[in-house]
C-alpha cells in the first residue's frame, strides 16, 4: 500500500504550545521505516504550512486564533482531497483542529466516488462545540461540529463540499463532555461509546458493530486518533489528559481489528506534544499503533526499552 506521510505543524487550536513538533517527533520515532518494514510504499510529503491569516473577529470573545485555524482548515481540506485519490494519507499533527480540514477533504473525495464517509473518532472528548458554545476558546474542540455540518461556522470556516452524516460517526473512549456538547449530541445521530460502555461490553464488540456498518455501506473509513484516547500513564505527551483512557492492549486491539477489516482509507495522528513526553515514549507508541493498523501482528512486535 502507498502510505503518504503529511506533516501538519498546527498548534493554533490548542492552549498549550508544543503540538507543532508532533510531525518531527513521529519521524524521529521511525514511522516511515516501520511502515516500510511492513512492505508499504512510504512517501513522506513533508510538512504543509499556511501563510499569514486574516484576523477574524467573533462575538464569542473567548475564541483564539480563529483566522489561522480557518486558514488551516481551508488548506487541509484541499490537501486531504488531493492526497486521498491514491493510497492512504496519514496526517501527522498537530492539534485536533486539523481534522476540520482533513475530514472535510476526504469526505469530498468519498462523495465524488459515490461512497459515504464514516469517521471513527478515538478521543477523550467529542469536540462538538460550536464557535458560539466554546468557553475555552480552543478550536481543537470544534472539528466534529464543523464537518458534520452543524450551524455557526458560516462566514468563518470554508463551506463544506460534503458534510459527514452524523449517523456515520462513531466515537470511542469518550470521558470528558461539556454541557453544551451534551446538548448538541442529543440533536445528532452520532454513536458515542464512553469508557463505561467499554468497561461493560469490551471495545471489540463495540468496534465490530461499527465496522459491519461501514462494510455493509461500502463506505470509506477515516480514523482520527487523539493521544488523549489513551490512558495518560501510557501516553503522557498530551496537553488534555483525562484519567481512565484506553489501555495499551485496548488501543492495539482497535488497530488490529481495523487492519483486519481492510476498510481504513485515511488516518489522523493528533495532539502529540513532544514537550510533555518522556523520552519519546508516546511518539513511539503512536508509531507502534500505526504499525498495528497497517499489518503488524502481535508476534511481530519488537521489544522496546522505554
Residues with catalytic function: 96, 123, 125, 127, 140, 226, 228, 271
- Residue 288 labeled ligand binder: no
Separation of CA 282 from chain center: 16
Short-list 206, 211, 246, 290, CA closest to 124: 246
Q: Is 127 annotated as a binding residue?
A: yes
Q: Confirm whether residue 125 is marked as ligand binding.
A: yes
- Three-state DSSP at 249 gives helix
All three cell numbers of 32: 516511515
- Rounded to whole angstroms, the Cα distance separating 125 from 144 reads 10
Asked if residues 302 and 262 have their Cβ atoms less than 8 Å apart, the reply is no
Q: Which pairing describes strands 117-122 and 191-194: parallel, antiparallel, or unpaired? A: unpaired
DSSP 156-223: TSPPPSSPPPGGGEEEEEE-B--HHHHHHHTTS--EEEEHHHHHHH-HHHHHHHHHHHHHHHT-EEEE
The annotation status of 165 as a binding-site residue, yes or no, is: no
Q: Is 40 annotated as a binding residue?
A: no
228 labeled part of a ligand binding site: yes
Q: How many CA atoms lie less than 13 Å away from 53 in the CB half-sphere?
A: 20
| Residues of the binding site for Mn(2+) | 96, 123, 125, 127, 226, 228
| Residues of the binding site | 96, 123, 125, 127, 226, 228
Amino acid at each position: 500500500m502507498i502510505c503518504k506521510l503529511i506533516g501538519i505543524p498546527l498548534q493554533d487550536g490548542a492552549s498549550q504550545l508544543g503540538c507543532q513538533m508532533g510531525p518531527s517527533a513521529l519521524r524521529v520515532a521511525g514511522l516511515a521505516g516501520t511502515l516500510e518494514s511492513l512492505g508499504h510504499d512510504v512517501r513522506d510529503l513533508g510538512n504543509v504550512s499556511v501563510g499569514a491569516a486574516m484576523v477574524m473577529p467573533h462575538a464569542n470573545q473567548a475564541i483564539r486564533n480563529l483566522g489561522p485555524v480557518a486558514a488551516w482548515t481551508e488548506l487541509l481540506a484541499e490537501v486531504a482531497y488531493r492526497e486521498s485519490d491514491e493510497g492512504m494519507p496519514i496526517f501527522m499533527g498537530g492539534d485536533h483542529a486539523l481534522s476540520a480540514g482533513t475530514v472535510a477533504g476526504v469526505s469530498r473525495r468519498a462523495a465524488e466516488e459515490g461512497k459515504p464517509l464514516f469517521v471513527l473518532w478515538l478521543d477523550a472528548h467529542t469536540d462538538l462545540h460550536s464557535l458560539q458554545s466554546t468557553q475555552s476558546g480552543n478550536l481543537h474542540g470544534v472539528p466534529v461540529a464543523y464537518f458534520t455540518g452543524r450551524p455557526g461556522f458560516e462566514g468563518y470556516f470554508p463551506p463544506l463540499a460534503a458534510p459527514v452524516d452524523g449517523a456515520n460517526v462513531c466515537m470511542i473512549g469518550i470521558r470528558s463532555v461539556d454541557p453544551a456538547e451534551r446538548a448538541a449530541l442529543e440533536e445528532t445521530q452520532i454513536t458515542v461509546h464512553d469508557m463505561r460502555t467499554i468497561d461493560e461490553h469490551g471495545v471489540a464488540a463495540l468496534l465490530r458493530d461499527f465496522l459491519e456498518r461501514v462494510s455493509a455501506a461500502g463506505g470509506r473509513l477515516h480514523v482520527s486518533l487523539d493521544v488523549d484516547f489513551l490512558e495518560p500513564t501510557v501516553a503522557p505527551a498530551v496537553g488534555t489528559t483525562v484519567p481512565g483512557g484506553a489501555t495499551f492492549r485496548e488501543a492495539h486491539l482497535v488497530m488490529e481489528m481495523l487492519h483486519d477489516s481492510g476498510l481504513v482509507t485515511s488516518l489522523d495522528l493528533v495532539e502529540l506534544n513532544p514537550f510533555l513526553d518522556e523520552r519519546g515514549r508516546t511518539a513511539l507508541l503512536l508509531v507502534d499503533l500505526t504499525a498495528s493498523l497497517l499489518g503488524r501482528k502481535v508476534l511481530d512486535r519488537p521489544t522496546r526499552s522505554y
